Amino acid sequence: MGRRGLIKRSVALGLISVPTMGFLSACASGGGDDQEKAEAGKKTAKNPLGVNDTAPMEFVLFDGGFGKEYAEDAVTVYEKAFPGAKVKFSATQKIQSTLQPRFNQGTPPDLIDNSGAEQMDMGTLVGKKQLTDLTPLLDAPSYDDPGTKVRDTLRPGIVEMGRFDGEQVWILYYAYTVYGVWYSQKALDSLDEQYPETWDQMLAVCAKAKKKGMAGWTYAGKYPYYLPFSLYPMIGKVGGREVLDAIDNLEPNAWKHPAVKACFDAYYELQQKGYVLKGTPGLDHIQSQTAWAKGDALFIPNGSWVENESANVMPDDFDLAVSAPTGLDSSDKLPFGTIWASGGEPFVVPAKAANAPGGMEQLRIMLSEASSKNFTGKVKSLTAYNGGTDGIELTPGLKSGVAALEVAGENVVNPRLQDWYVQLQKEKIGVSGLGEMMAGRATPAETIKKIQAFADETAKDSSIKHYKHQ
């Protein structure tokens, strides 16, 4: 099957969730004077959202693995469409600490890429009515075809991911991410090995790598919520989707399922046998990716943004590849190839934005074929737009990601903890739980007990909007 065929197949799978961290409990507490709303503009065929063509528009982007050039290019299109409007564009890694005071004061920007280590908690934002319903954007004519609504140009599952309850859509996930275990095919070939499908095979590959002076694994030790990118789908593979559903639903004792224990034990074994790169617990995402790209470690759990984020340190002949997580053995409930793939880079328009139509129009531009192609060509990742790859030479990582989706078929999982419970996922499960375990400071049994207590706390917190699998 050709590349275009692979992409069409992967799109048709209905996959769909990227990374996050946050502490927004105080973000929605009121105070301050709300900013004045821009007067609505006239709705026309070219301006279906009724953007005021002289109103300023402010766009704050998360400055992460995808960079900011793709967004700056889309801003240029906005400025050409509304030459009388001044656009203030900025990019930061500190989304929460930069924007929380502005939410409190009622003066947020018009469009935010709410991502990264300081991602604001979506459940809190939605629960406190801090976001604008994006239905008008989804029902607007698409940028390329006035006869097709924006919602009908999106990959399956993107609209559903932005809902918290009912039909309102609060979030538009712009990127489309494949999560898994990333590695250099060249390095694996040098060991005369294939990607391991069972845990015994994984341990054997890591042992062989260690003899050649290469660690089996590394990860973002300072941000250990990267570990679930391969660990969660492994849990789903071993125990079935229902285990992940119970975890997402914050069900009592969900973390005490035997599949969770088995997978925690497997990862802990990597640490205990010395197969994790020395010093990993002290590395951030860039440092761990750099060490991995230089050949210090064979495997790293990550998302498809890693190809762009590591481009400046990755050798030309690295031959980047991604695989679904290794399982335990033939008793696993789901087949090898079970992988996590979903929408990422969550964009939101604040409820108190001065120019909400402008923020939505900027998103409408970004969801055009041209902007989507620009993103894919520049950052080596797919977008929520269902297409935009014709004529683009797929990079090794992107090509491998599309192939992994083909192998997965219907066995694609989409854990929702990182969308709904940012602080639980990042700070508690990640840093306090998995981070301590993988540093050798807690056993799997101790870690499970701690994480279950964290999940129970979240389940009892009535201030947090709770997710339920249907």
Q: Is 222 exposed, middle or buried (0-12, 13-18, 19+ CB in 10 A)?
A: middle
Flag whether the pTM goes above 0.95: no
pLDDT at 10: 37
- Asked whether residue 24 carries a pLDDT value surpassing 70, the answer given is no
Strand ranges for 278-408 from DSSP E = 297-303, 320-323, 339-348, 382-383
Domain residue limits, the chain: 3-177+342-396, 179-340+415-460
Assigned fold of 3-177+342-396: D-Maltodextrin-Binding Protein; domain 2 (3.40.190)
> Which run of H or E residues covers position 178?
strand 172-184
| Encoded amino acid at 102, one letter | R
**CATH topology agreement for domains 3-177+342-396 and 179-340+415-460:** yes
Instruction: Name the percent of the chain lying above pLDDT 90.
Output: 78
Instruction: Count CB neighbours of 305 within 10 A.
Output: 25
Amino acid at 390: D
pLDDT tens-digit map of 277-328: 999 999 999 999 999 999 999 999 999 999 989 999 999 999 999 999 999 9
Q: Where are the alpha helices (DSSP H) in 240-368?
A: 241-248, 258-272, 285-293, 306-309, 356-366
Backbone angles phi, psi at 71, to 5 degrees: -75, -40
pLDDT of 7 reads 33
**What CATH class is the domain 179-340+415-460?**
alpha beta
State the pLDDT at residue 160: 86
Task: Return the closest-CA partner of residue 219 out of 141, 163, 303, 152.
Answer: 303
Q: Does 441 score more than 90 pLDDT?
A: yes
Average of per-residue pLDDT across 177-186: 96
What is the tens place of the pLDDT at every residue in 69-124? 999 999 999 999 999 999 999 999 999 999 999 999 999 999 999 998 899 988 88
Q: Which of 135, 102, 101 is nearest to 353 (CA)?
A: 102
Q: Which residues have C-beta within 8 Å of that of residue 467, sequence separation ≥ 6?
A: 123, 164, 248, 249, 250, 416, 419, 420, 421
The pLDDT tens digits for 315-374 are 999 999 999 999 999 999 999 999 999 888 999 999 999 999 999 999 999 999 999 999
Average pLDDT over residues 445-467: 93
Asked whether residue 453 carries a pLDDT value surpassing 90, the answer given is yes
Backbone Cα Rg of the chain: 22
CB–CB of 451/428 below 8 Å? Answer: yes
pLDDT at position 376 is 92
Quote the pLDDT of residue 33: 67
Place of tokens 């590849």: 321
| pLDDT above 80 for 214 | yes
Structure tokens at 27: 């973000």
CB atoms within 10 A of CB 386: 20
Q: In the chain, what percentage of residues exceed pLDDT 70?
A: 93
Query: Tokens standing for 439?
Result: 């540093």
Helix (H, G, I), strand (E, B) or coil at 215: strand
The sign one gets for the Cα dihedral 92, 98, 104, 107 is negative
